[in-house]
Amino acid sequence: MPTTLDFKDRLLSATGHGLLTVFGRPAAGRPNPAQSSAASLDESQRRLAGALMRVNHVGEVCAQALYQSQALLSREEPLRRQLEAAAAEEIDHLAWTRERLDELKDRPSLLNPFWYGGAFALGSLAGLMGDRISLGFLVETERQVEQHLASHLDRLPAEDLRSREIVDRMKAEEAEHAQHAQEAGAAELPTPVPGLMRLAARVMTTVAHRL
């Protein structure tokens, strides 16, 4: 039987996980979906692919913060375990995007500590409002991420099959996470909230594209 940790232990675990996410290199538990041979990209293509994969890596840093904070504050143990399972899949996304950045000779965002802290604060706020609101926040987040990844599939160089294979797998799994959260009883968020979330995401992606 799984051991149920008290809040203090969960907080310590979340803190350690956050430090590893921001300053370490979490390992993927599944094979990288990028199976195609690396194509020869010209410098402009390489820089574009690197910038887009940096943004995607930032998104996965934020996903870890959201899942960890929401799991920390969840009232129900089954829901907490569901969030932790989804976070484990997102760790794979984090590792895959970092691997692709290395292949492209590019780097993660210099502001990852800031992105993680902001996302953790937002996830905590959602968690404090109750599990149904927290799940609703998760559904909307994953839907927006899915749309964002679809736009990257349109923008990535056609020759960059390795990046495209990673993004395509991530997109499919984000949709699954949204569906699972919806099935778990997510509440619909008030009308202004999704728009504010899109605005915050636009700021993040614009800055992370360069920094």
Q: Which residues of 54-69 are buried (b: 16+ CB within 10 A; e: fewer)?
A: bbbbbbbbbbbbbbbb
41-210 fold: Ferritin (1.20.1260)
Give, in order, the Cα–Cα distances in Å from 133 to each of 21, 86, 90, 174: 25, 17, 21, 18
* Radius of gyration, CA atoms only, the chain: 17
pLDDT digit string, tens, across residues 102-138:
999 999 999 999 999 988 988 888 888 888 888 888 8
187: Cβ–Cβ under 8 A, 6 or more apart, which residues?
A: 132, 133, 135, 136
Indicate the domain borders of the chain.
41-210
51: Cβ–Cβ under 8 A, 6 or more apart, which residues?
A: 106, 209, 210
Give, in order, the Cα–Cα distances in Å from 45 to each of 37, 82, 93, 101, 109: 16, 38, 22, 13, 19
Task: Answer with the residue of higher pLDDT: 49 or 74.
Answer: 49
18: Cβ–Cβ under 8 A, 6 or more apart, which residues?
A: 64, 65, 68, 116, 120
Q: What is the pTM of this model?
A: 0.89
The rounded mean pLDDT for the chain is 87
Distance of CA 144 to the CA centre of its chain: 11
pLDDT value for 4: 64
pLDDT digit string, tens, across residues 62-112:
888 888 888 888 777 777 887 888 788 889 999 999 999 999 999 999 999
